[in-house]
C-alpha cells in the first residue's frame, strides 16, 4: 500500500483521500488538547501558514491513546483548536495511533513492511512524521522536537 492510496475521515466527517497530497510535503502529527505539548498547535499553525503556499500540508490526527489527554468529541476538538490556536490545517477524526485498533495511516507510518523505510512507535502526543511529495516517509520525530525545529524547517525548505 502506498501513502497516496491511504484515506482518513476529516474531523467534520468527510472522506479525505491522501491522493490529493501527491506533490506536497506532509507532516502528520497525533494531537491532544490536554497535553503538555498542546501549545505545539500554535507552532504547527505558524509552520503551515508560512509554507502552505509552497506545498506543505500539516495534518493533525487527534488521539486519546496517551494519558487520556484527548477525551473530547470531534466537535469539541475542532472548537478547541479553532478557538485557542486558530488551526486551519486539516484535522482528521480521532484515531488510535497504536494497538489493535491502530488506524491504517498509522499502520503505514510505523511499519517498515508498509512504508519501506523504518519501523517506529508513536510514544506520546505530538509525534511527527514527515513524508515527501512522492509519498516516501522521510523521518519520524518525537514529541520534544518542536514544529519550528531547525531539522523540520530545513526539510521543508529543501
- Which residues belong to the active site? 35
Rounded to an integer, what distance in angstroms lies between the CA atom of residue 3 and that of residue 15? 16
Residue 144: all three cell numbers together: 520534544
Query: Which residue(s) pair with 29 in the sheet?
Result: 60, 128
For residues 69 and 52, give the distance between their C-alpha atoms in angstroms, rounded to a whole number: 28
**What is the rounded CA–CA span in Å between residue 88 and residue 26?**
15
Q: DSSP assignment, residue 104?
A: H
**In whole angstroms, what is the distance from residue 139 CA to residue 156 CA?**
12
**In contact, 69 and 32? CB cutoff 8 Å:** yes
CA atoms within 13 A on the CB side of 128: 25
Amino acid at each position: 500500500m502506498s501513502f497516496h492510496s491511504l484515506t482518513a475521515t476529516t474531523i467534520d466527517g468527510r472522506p479525505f483521500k491522501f491522493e490529493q497530497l501527491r506533490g506536497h510535503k506532509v507532516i502528520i502529527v497525533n494531537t491532544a488538547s490536554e497535553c503538555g505539548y498542546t501549545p505545539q498547535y500554535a507552532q504547527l499553525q505558524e509552520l503551515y501558514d508560512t509554507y502552505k503556499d509552497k506545498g506543505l500540508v500539516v495534518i493533525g490526527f487527534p488521539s486519546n491513546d496517551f494519558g487520556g489527554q484527548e477525551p473530547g468529541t470531534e466537535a469539541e476538538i475542532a472548537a478547541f483548536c479553532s478557538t485557542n490556536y486558530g488551526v486551519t490545517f486539516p484535522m482528521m477524526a480521532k484515531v488510535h495511533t497504536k494497538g489493535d485498533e491502530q488506524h491504517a495511516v498509522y499502520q503505514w507510518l510505523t511499519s517498515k513492511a508498509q512504508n519501506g523505510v523504518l519501523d517506529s512507535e508513536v510514544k506520546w502526543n505530538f509525534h511527527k512524521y514527515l513524508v515527501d511529495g512522492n509519498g516516501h516517509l522521510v523521518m519520524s520525530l518525537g514529541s520534544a522536537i518542536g514544529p519550528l525545529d531547525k531539522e523540520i524547517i530545513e526539510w521543508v525548505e529543501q
